[in-house]
Amino acid sequence: MMKKVFCSLAFLACAAQAALAAPSVQAVHLELTDEDYIPCDSSLAAEFPKGMPLGIGSSLAFVSKKPDGSLVFLGISDRGPNGDTPLWRDASGALYPTKMFPSPDFTPTIATITVKGDRAKLSDLTLVRDEKGQPISGRPVPAGLTGSTGETALDVNLSALPFDANGLDTEGIDIARDGSLWICDEYGPFILHLDSKGRTLEKYGPGSGLPEILARRQINRGFEGLCVLPSGKIAAVVQSILDLNGKVKKSSAPFVRLIVLDPTTKECKTFAYPIDATSYKKNADAKIGDLAAAGENRVLLIEQGAAEEDGVIHRLYAVDLSEATDITGVKAPDGRELETLSSLDELTSAGIRPASKKLLADLNALGWKAEKAEGLAVVDDKTVAICSDNDFGMTAELTGVSGKSKDYLVSDGKVVTAKDLEPTGGKVRVTPTGEETAFWLVTFDEPIR
């Protein structure tokens, strides 16, 4: 047994170091028309005269290559423009985390992206809809329901917005052979099967087709990537390590959970993807960007996060699941969850073989500058497409007060001091960042293996 453990660890170590020769990179400029801006509150007209630029880079799926050489993809937005705001104090004095939604009725949107040369355009915008065909929103799910984050949504005037029982924070997309769509979300985390028009056909969540433990995702870090495997099975990966006890910042969990769902038999398997734990300030900082199929048991994956030193890591890996252990329902030797183990050594000593990984490219070394690499698609055996999430080109900032945001609360639509609830006159200012969607075509000299 120990020989197998050492061989496994040696393979993981070598795989993490190995990489293909530096690939070539073609940067693509995404051109937006007036139709590609979304309405926002009228009070923001001066800052956003056209509205906010549609952020469509939360995930990518390759569709086809046209006779003229242009490439067609699908992209998907997340839950919509939002920004951090101080804690909400309700009438009873209870405190809740918040998010400001400048476009509170925004519906997560799917778009066709056509790349020709070094230019790309959007078309065929499709709204994500519920089973009845009604557009859903990106606002948080109410307390008590699967997917609730405990957040209160606020408008630009700091008034509470209604919850949405069907709300989604979409983050992954791929296409089935029959042309239907599969997407995933960060709230539940959920996996949804949509028809080609965006209407929900099936919805899976923790305890409802997916392992219950997935409900213990960190807030807003549910499923971050999804792909359809050649067999038609669905692979999805949780963005970060799970939060078992509310103390995730102290967790040494060495892996994130990657699931494979068979929509025909409803069987769901779970695998451990080993994060680059020594690269981050905390294991909880590791984040997955997206997932793309490269075979029945092979996927490509972007791993990123705040580095142990300054900056943010962005790495592209090939991941092999063929010899990985199905950890669905499996516990550590002491009966606790596997995330309580603090290293890959402990994981393998417990008889768990994680997925193996091979470094394909360090995106930073290739010149990647965007903070979030969140879209990934395989074009052919040598080329992948990667794009960023530009957060709708907006940011929110608490102004008119001194000190830190944690020193203030939102109550009755006003910014007040946390200590004595005195009104401050502070505001949350929404401003454009000018950040565009980064889009790369990355081509290797040899087939990606």
Instruction: Decide if pLDDT at 24 tops 50.
Output: yes
Which of 1-5, 117-121, 191-195, 278-282 shows the lowest per-residue confidence on average (mean pLDDT)?
A: 1-5
pTM: 0.93
At 312-345, the pLDDT tens digits run 999 999 999 999 999 999 999 999 999 999 999 9
Tens-digit pLDDT profile for residues 392-417: 999 999 999 998 889 999 999 999 99
Of the candidates 83, 74, 70, 59, the residue with the CA atom closest to the CA atom of residue 151: 83
As a whole number, mean pLDDT of residues 434-440 equals: 96
The reported pLDDT for the residue numbered 14 is 41
Question: Amino acid letter at 98?
Answer: T
Write out pLDDT tens, residues 27-72: 999 999 999 999 999 999 999 999 999 999 999 999 999 999 999 9
Is the bond preceding residue 97 a cis peptide, omega within 30 degrees?
no
pLDDT tens for each residue of 224-245: 999 999 999 999 999 999 999 9
Q: Which residues contact 160 (CB under 8 A, 6 or more apart)?
A: 88, 152, 153, 154
Q: What is the per-residue pLDDT for 244?
A: 95
Residue 246 clears pLDDT 70, i.e. is over it = yes
Give the pLDDT score at 12: 46
Q: Provide the CB-side half-sphere exposure for 187 (13 A, CA).
A: 29
- DSSP strand pairing (83-89 vs 408-411): parallel
CA–CA gap between residue 355 and residue 368 (Å, rounded): 26
Higher pLDDT, 145 or 19: 145
Kindly report, residue by residue over 260-307, the tens digit of the pLDDT. 999 999 999 999 999 999 999 999 999 999 999 999 999 999 999 999
Percentage of the chain surpassing pLDDT 90? 93
For residue 5, pLDDT over 70 is answered with no
pLDDT for the residue 20:
54
The pLDDT score that the predictor gives to residue 75 is: 98
173: which residues sit within 8 A by CB, 6+ positions away?
59, 60, 61, 74, 75, 76, 110, 181, 182, 183, 226
The predicted pLDDT at position 22 comes to: 87
The chain-wide mean pLDDT, for the chain, equals 94
Could you tell me which of 299, 300, 278, 172 has the C-alpha nearest to residue 226? 172
pLDDT at 309: 81
Mean pLDDT within 381-385 = 97
The pLDDT-based confidence of 449 (bands split at 50, 70, 90) is confident
pLDDT class of 8 with cuts at 50, 70, 90: very low
> Which residues have a Cβ under 8 Å from the Cβ of 441 and sit 6 or more positions away?
25, 26, 28, 71, 115, 379, 383, 384, 385
How far from chain centre, in Å, is Cα 193? 18
Q: In which order are the strands placed within the sheet that holds 200-206? A: 170-175, 181-185, 191-194, 200-206, 209-210
Indicate the residue type of 321: L
Q: Are 167 and 104 in contact (CB under 8 A)?
A: no
Question: From CA 375, how far away is CA 228, in angstroms rounded?
Answer: 15
